[in-house]
Amino acid sequence: MLKNLRDCEEFIAGDGSILRELLHRDKTEVPIRYSLAHAKVPQGGRTKPHKLKATEVYYIITGRGLMHIDAESFEVGPDSAVLIPPDSMQYIENTADCDLVFLCIVDPAWRQEDEQVVGC
């Protein structure tokens, strides 16, 4: 199975990031537990604070940002991997002069009913 990013529809996620869903257990014939999405936060932007019931991992491809998980905040950049525990309040700010681009892996797979967006 092969998926190309350019073939995946772009949409605005509930947290405000620009997403393209690459893999999801409900949209593939291969039995997988997780979902994989390509995310983008434009220069000067940030996602809305939100919680997921599932574990999430961000892998930063390009750009720099400030990751917020509950009461902690830390800088992230290319080749950084961030583990976000279930039910943690999270958001990411783009602090670079370019788009912040990262992969999101959610296990078990992302479902809208498992996400709570708090707002800005």
Identify the pLDDT of residue 47.
97
Mean pLDDT for the chain?
A: 95
The angle subtended at Cα 104 by Cα 38 and Cα 73, nearest 5°, is 120
Query: pLDDT class for 1, splitting at 50, 70, 90?
Result: confident
| pTM for this prediction | 0.93
**pLDDT tens digits for range 5-43:** 999 999 999 999 999 999 988 878 888 999 999 999 999
Query: pLDDT class for 94, splitting at 50, 70, 90?
Result: very high
Reduce the DSSP state of residue 13 to 3 states and report it: coil
17-117 — its CATH code? Answer: 2.60.120.10
Q: Domain residue spans in the chain?
A: 17-117
Cβ burial of 94 (10 Å; 0-12, 13-18, 19+) is buried
Identify the pLDDT of residue 4.
94
Amino acid found at 78 = P
Reduce the DSSP state of residue 78 to 3 states and report it: coil
